[in-house]
Structure 1
Amino acid sequence: MSNPYKGKTGLNRILHATGYSLAGLRAAYTGESAFRQEVWLLIVATPLAFWLGQGWVQTALLLGSLMLVLIVELLNSGIEAAIDRVSFELHDLSKRAKDLASAAVLLSLLLSAGIWGAALWQRLAG
């Protein structure tokens, strides 16, 4: 049994995949306030990362930690959308899936805050 949506190959597949990805980013930005806030945090923090980072590795770590937050937020939103697509009925497994995805976002935010805090501490104390 073949999937009719999996017939694209080569450059055609890459172009379509890029379009789907851009549509996903657009949907997240317009429909998810947390994603919008995190995008603006990245935009504001990018110049700070170049000031705060002592070398390209620290700068990449600072910016990469914020990109990780966006990635995890996209996954969280995807899980929430899939759960809501199935049913709005309250169910223990639906709650668990949404809570686990939310916890992943929290951990990515804590990781990013720790990285930024350590870099700030090193910059100001050293």
Structure 2
Amino acid sequence: MESPYKGKTGLRRLINAFGYSVDGLAAAYRNEDAFRQEVLMAVIMIPLAIYLGNDAIAKTLMIGSVLLVIIVELLNSAIEATVDRISLENHQLAKRAKDIGSAAVLISLINLVVVWGLLIFG
């Protein structure tokens, strides 16, 4: 069955999409400890990137790597919520989905460390 909201077009669709995005950010902040920690990290690191970055490209890479962590965490949280919605029982595929989402967050954090390390010390 297709979503009844798919029929919306134009400005109404954009307004609805923005509202859903704000709802998603609020839900993640309210319900996900890791997301709150990464938002705190972003609040500290984004101004630091603006201060430490030597040029616009460095600042962009530093800020982008911080935002990438937040994006990946949001996707990971969506995967976890979907898996939990389907079933709370321990299942090999549910564990695999959650572990892969967690691995994506880890890779984004490693990317952040590498980017910042290369730009600050490289």
The Cα of 1:3 is off from its aligned counterpart by 4.0
Q: 1:117 to 1:88 in 2, by over 3 A?
A: same
- 1:103-122 alignment to 2 at 5 Å? 103-122=103-122
Q: C-alpha separation between the residues in 1 aligned to 2:2 and 2:33?
A: 38
**1:43 aligned residue:** 43
Give structure 1 regions of 4+ aligned residues with deviation exceeding 3 angstroms: none
- Structure 2 residue identity aligned to 1:86: I
Aligned alpha-carbon RMSD (Å): 1.2
- Structure 2 residue identity aligned to 1:35: F
- 1:1-126 alignment to 2 at 5 Å? 3-122=3-122
What TM-score comes out, normalization by structure 2 length? 0.96
Question: Secondary structure of 1:54's partner?
Answer: coil
Q: 1:115 to 1:2 in 2, by over 3 A?
A: closer
Aligned residues: 122
Q: Is the 8 A contact 2:65 2:112 kept in 1?
A: yes
Q: Which runs of 5+ in 2 are unaligned?
A: none
- What do residues 46-92 of structure 1 show as CA deviations (whole Å, max 9, x unaligned)? 22101211100000000000000000000000000000000001000
- Structure 2 residue identity aligned to 1:103: A
Q: 1:2 to 1:85 in 2, by over 3 A?
A: closer
Q: C-alpha separation between the residues in 1 aligned to 2:13 and 2:51?
A: 39
The Cα of 1:4 is off from its aligned counterpart by 2.1
- Structure 1 residue identity aligned to 2:46: T
The Cα of 1:119 is off from its aligned counterpart by 1.6
Q: C-alpha separation between the residues in 2 aligned to 1:53 and 1:116?
A: 9
